[in-house]
A and B are shown apart, each in its own frame.
Chain A
Amino acid sequence: MRRAVFELVAAGPKAVGELARELPISRPAVSQHLKVLKEAGLVVDDAVGTRRVYRVDPSGVAALRAYLDVVWDRALAAYAAAVENTPEEPS
């Protein structure tokens, strides 16, 4: 069903209500799928009046997300080592 949600968004920008009308699932279920798709970097949303309109992310930002995920893992590991190797000054 998530794939169906994505394919509908890929066909053109749509609000949650429009997607729910075209699919045999509830509006909250559509929202949940959109949340996952958004976190995966596949779609983005824009506020249009009081609605949120979803469209496919054109920039391939999922690649950047995957990249930053690795960067911060390693940066924080280095930071943690530095914290524990730096003598604590009396405050």
Chain B
Amino acid sequence: MSVVKTVTVKAGQQHAFKVFTAGFATWWPSSHHIGKADMAEAIMEQRDGGRWYERGVDGSECDWGTVLVYDPPNRVVLSWHLNGEWAYDPDPAKASEVEIRFIADGPDVTRVELEHRHFERHGGDWEGVARGVDTENGWTGLLRGYADIAAA
């Protein structure tokens, strides 16, 4: 099962790729995380086999998964290790994948295609999880943060 999204940005392919990866923290809202401590920043390592993770304000780190493919400026594939309790789970059999493709539509236009697939592997009571996070302090509130950034 997958979710597929496309967004077109007014920027060259190199820049679009760089903001997504190196600039991950500039658009990923700090309130949106799974670690116990408040999040200071979200980091995506720029290499095959790297980590993407959060660093808490107390210095603790919480993994989100692995950078399976780092292919600038074309493609990134991430594994997302999350279980039905909304926590990091190292078991690769339970991880979903997010593939992001950057396609030049012109010198200053890039089409970004995102596919989040295999999330049925996470298992668990997802209706329960979705209810649990549907609060002001959960993802619903955090999503409002996205909208605010996007509207700025």
Which residues of chain A have a CB within 8 Å of any CB of chain B?
A: 38-39, 41, 44, 57, 59-61, 63-86, 88-89, 91
Contacts and interface: CB of A to CB of B under 8 A. Distances in A.
B19 interface: yes
B143 A71 contact: yes
Nearest to B80: A68
Interface in B121-146: 122-127, 129-130, 133, 139, 143, 146
Interface of B: 1, 3, 5, 7-12, 14-16, 18-20, 23, 26-29, 84, 112, 114, 116, 119-120, 122-127, 129-130, 133, 139, 143, 146-147, 149-152
Majority secondary structure, A binding face: helix
B15 A83 contact: yes
Given A61-B120, A64-B129, A72-B114, A81 B1 contact: no
Given A39-B1, A61-B126, A63-B130, A79 B119 contact: no
Contacts, number: 114
Contact of B11 (A67, A78, A84): A84
A42 to B, nearest CB: 10
A77 B150 contact: yes
A80 B126 contact: no
A59 B123 CA distance: 6
B34 to A, nearest CB: 13
Nearest to A61: B120
A64 B139 CA distance: 12
Contacts of B18: 89
A2 to B, nearest CB: 17
B81 to A, nearest CB: 15
A72 B80 CA distance: 14
A70 B5 CA distance: 10
Nearest to A39: B1
Contacts of A60: 125-127
